Structure 1
């Protein structure tokens, strides 16, 4: 057995053991509630939250697919850097309000908030389904990272992949959110060490950054394609801007992002984290450059799987022992977000489908039990997804996930600042935005991987009758449609005096902080 596999296996098993031990870490008297199992008792301080949210947002997909995009298409892949710069000021304004109202009303999911704010179980159901659907491909994508590493190490067959996620499922079931919170410390430290070594050591072996960028540009010049190159051009600038902005608006709408924030113990913790998390944006810029390093190093993907370029780069440039550490960093980087995502999706099902429509009188213990089982089902679904479907297609679906989750922005993000929209208008807007978004995505082809439909998220404006080769992020257009229809629907609903639905929140709920005595269970009315 080679050195890489031994080191990878030892580190992987070490953090898995930490996942099981996490059930005893900061242990509550009783884990049998979503507040404890699914939100870690809402007790995480600044350091834990920083590692947890960072580990949640910067996934194996980030370490594998972002540099792979630069390897394939060039500068377009850098969209991930400005969007993570833009997102934190926006989140600073929004998430502290969501934390406060959730603290007062005992809310666990974004759909819980929508249910309370607009008095509409139907709208809450749509938000819950949207969150689950958008999260599933994201969980599957964590498998892409592990699979790429296993391929590079020469591990064949699907059994190791299944074993890895079986271990993940077991410790998540036992420890809940405490498991990824504890593992995130190791994961983030490993990632920082590997990337900092990579951006210093690899360029020194490749002749410096001038040589790296020169070889990257030579590659794109030799195989010209619209938009490819180390600089943006007229065809892809609009796509770049709208994709960066749309991705920034979508990032903290994902249920797993909300879960990490709601686990914080106070508003001040969130404020400090939104100020400190941009440190990950610097790391992301360095990670992206691995794509150009792979070009300069002459790395070739394994078969047609471009996701293997970064593991291949590590395998080529690093000594075996450090390549094993780097592979473990990517593999462990998949465990933390996959655990949080499965917990978040399970909480959505439990609170907004099971409790709302199947068993309204469910106890806290029953909710926790259902959520644990659902988290297992979600992981099994992700494993089947990656085993039965082309992994490249799952990456296309990740881009689609942003288009999908953006349709919850009017009800969740805007709902935190006011209740101008009518619940009927929001439902109509969701239908219009989701329908137009999926229609646009259906009409996006990707000849490179022979997908006639759902081939990405760059919608050609020429399909709208415009004489241009420019593309735009489909989610941006779909959100615009959503908002227009929501506004018109609100005017119509009020003109016809359609019932508004009861708002269970009060203005002071949105500024409540730790220790507020007004915590109570969610009890709202509404029938829309």
Structure 2
């Protein structure tokens, strides 16, 4: 086990950079200062006034998390080619998001929607469906926040820091500056986070292969190591090429993950904070640059194999920090650790804000205090964001970190079930809200039921052992696997479509639609102030 006394330089560099971004978090309350943050548009969406560059860094900081930095290479390290699913899925998503997010931004700006459940409530006139979407979003987001802590914890382990006190302190600081600055804090910190990560990865893919003897050595070592027999399964540990049994899993995992990415509340929060449609369009065109970065990050898994890196204990999340520790001088390893640690703060902050907004708008205001003022909404959301962060810390303190990973695995399957009401809803409301609610519940049941059946021989778990479902478990004579979320959302859609046909045929009453066709293409008038600042309905181009 590493000792902190052997990593003094890394600890000093890590701490200084961490304190720097914490100071920026508090200063963000005065950055692009609004008259008051006592409004969800200001505290939770930064005044809906972020331009192209700020949104680019915010979305990048939001979507590419500390857990991505450590988990994707860890998967490549353990299994090989299947870990690269993250690269095509982050390429596939942006054309699809281009078609959906511009319309969702417009209708949300026009009607003052803050959450995806707000949109569903207005579009389908169903508080029940909106509540289901809100609860699904909150449940899917909570473990995702906890996983950011796991990224920080992996770095601290490599530096020899044990115990949970440093993580608790880090998240207390995060909680305070998020409470005071809202979305402006992660937006400002994202500049530092993304710059550090680009710097670290560019240096890593140049220096580490040079020290290891070149890419032929790296891939050769990976092929040899992954070809060894896994004693728990009797099969090879993995491979640097896909095989006949995991190709279907790879395709469905990439597609399913792509469909889910912008359904997460924190992703939509960053989108709704943009100042106009053009900002969304430019970002959907430019964000694939991060996919190139992600491909380089994934290669760190193969570099770790060639370097002979061993996980600390059984924690494969320590692979990347350990690689940096071995390959770089102490001062630059400290910069690398800070990149991962700061990479946890940005998404964790946005996630807590998004979950808090969902509770405030779609539970508190809808069911507990219908006449809540904007100031009361903002106050409730601030307090809820604190509660969410405390919950994430408690998960790390009292639960096995592997359980948090399992919860996040379930979360990805859960959030995918909001696709028919949110993503399809911006184009059509043909699907009946009763059918959408039933389909969502059916998709959740199918997804959780399939996940329950999946064992993990490597750690002895009989249930919730992964997202790759062997078709033989369903009675098929094959060893092929498929991504659970993909099957669950198909079940969701089938139920929603069939039940809609039945309800339409039976003459079931429809619900009111608060939106109009023109709402989905409106843009902000160039001279219009933020909606919260004006106190009037959103001013749009052409009004």
**Structures share a fold, TM > 0.5?**
yes
Tell me by how many angstroms 1:206 deviates.
Answer: 0.3
Assess if the C-alpha contact under 8 Å between 1:149 and 1:311 holds in 2: yes
Q: Could you tell me which runs of 5 or more consecutive residues in structure 1 were left unpaired when the two chains were aligned.
A: 523-528
What pairs up with 1:352-501 in 2 under 5 angstroms? 352-501=362-511
Deviations 1:344-385 (A, max 9, x none): 000000000000000000000000000000000000000111
Q: In the alignment, does 2:343 pair up with 1:333?
A: yes
Tell me by how many angstroms 1:101 deviates.
Answer: 0.1
1:190 corresponds to which of 192, 196, 215:
196
Large movers: runs of 4+ above 6 Å: 516-522
Equivalent residue, structure 1, for 2:47:
41
Deviations 1:311-339 (A, max 9, x none): 00001111000000000000000000000
Equivalent residue, structure 1, for 2:270:
260
> What is the alpha-carbon distance in structure 1 between the residues aligned to residue 93 and residue 323 of structure 2?
30
> What is the alpha-carbon distance in structure 1 between the residues aligned to residue 258 and residue 236 of structure 2?
25
Q: Could you tell me which runs of 5 or more consecutive residues in structure 2 were left unpaired when the two chains were aligned.
A: 539-543
What pairs up with 1:84-233 in 2 under 5 angstroms? 84-224=90-230, 225=235, 228-233=238-243
> What is the alpha-carbon distance in structure 2 between the residues aligned to residue 373 and residue 487 of structure 1?
39
> What is the alpha-carbon distance in structure 2 between the residues aligned to residue 211 and residue 400 of structure 1?
37
What pairs up with 1:506-521 in 2 under 5 angstroms? 506-515=516-525
Equivalent residue, structure 2, for 1:525:
none
Larger mean CA deviation between 290-299 and 510-519 belongs to 510-519
Assess if the C-alpha contact under 8 Å between 1:226 and 1:235 holds in 2: no
The two structures have a TM-score, normalised by structure 1, of 0.97
SS in 1 for 2:274: coil
> What is the alpha-carbon distance in structure 2 between the residues aligned to residue 261 and residue 173 of structure 1?
20
Q: In the alignment, does 2:318 pair up with 1:312?
A: no
Assess if the C-alpha contact under 8 Å between 2:226 and 2:237 holds in 1: no
Tell me by how many angstroms 1:414 deviates.
Answer: 0.3
Deviations 1:280-302 (A, max 9, x none): 00000000000000000000000
Assess if the C-alpha contact under 8 Å between 2:226 and 2:236 holds in 1: no
> What is the alpha-carbon distance in structure 1 between the residues aligned to residue 459 and residue 190 of structure 2?
34
Deviations 1:79-120 (A, max 9, x none): 000000100000000000000000100000000000000000
Assess if the C-alpha contact under 8 Å between 2:143 and 2:392 holds in 1: yes
The two structures have a TM-score, normalised by structure 2, of 0.95
> What is the alpha-carbon distance in structure 2 between the residues aligned to residue 370 and residue 397 of structure 1?
26
Deviations 1:395-444 (A, max 9, x none): 23222221100100000000000111000110110111111111001111
Deviations 1:156-205 (A, max 9, x none): 11100100000000000000000000000000000000000000000000
> What is the alpha-carbon distance in structure 2 between the residues aligned to residue 424 and residue 169 of structure 1?
38
SS in 1 for 2:263: coil
> What is the alpha-carbon distance in structure 1 between the residues aligned to residue 446 and residue 304 of structure 2?
38
226 and 218 in structure 1: CA distance in 2 versus 1, 3 angstrom threshold: closer
142 and 84 in structure 1: CA distance in 2 versus 1, 3 angstrom threshold: same
> What is the alpha-carbon distance in structure 1 between the residues aligned to residue 17 and residue 361 of structure 2?
35
2:313 corresponds to which of 295, 298, 303:
303
Equivalent residue, structure 1, for 2:79:
73
Larger mean CA deviation between 387-396 and 424-433 belongs to 387-396
Assess if the C-alpha contact under 8 Å between 1:70 and 1:77 holds in 2: yes
Tell me by how many angstroms 1:226 deviates.
Answer: 5.7
Assess if the C-alpha contact under 8 Å between 1:227 and 1:236 holds in 2: no
Equivalent residue, structure 2, for 1:64:
70
> What is the alpha-carbon distance in structure 2 between the residues aligned to residue 386 and residue 456 of structure 1?
20
Equivalent residue, structure 2, for 1:11:
17
> What is the alpha-carbon distance in structure 1 between the residues aligned to residue 478 and residue 236 of structure 2?
12
Larger mean CA deviation between 133-142 and 486-495 belongs to 486-495
SS in 2 for 1:459: strand
SS in 2 for 1:472: strand
SS in 2 for 1:477: helix
> What is the alpha-carbon distance in structure 1 between the residues aligned to residue 318 and residue 399 of structure 2?
17
Tell me by how many angstroms 1:227 deviates.
Answer: 7.2
1:505 corresponds to which of 504, 515, 532:
515
> What is the alpha-carbon distance in structure 1 between the residues aligned to residue 461 and residue 379 of structure 2?
40
SS in 2 for 1:222: coil
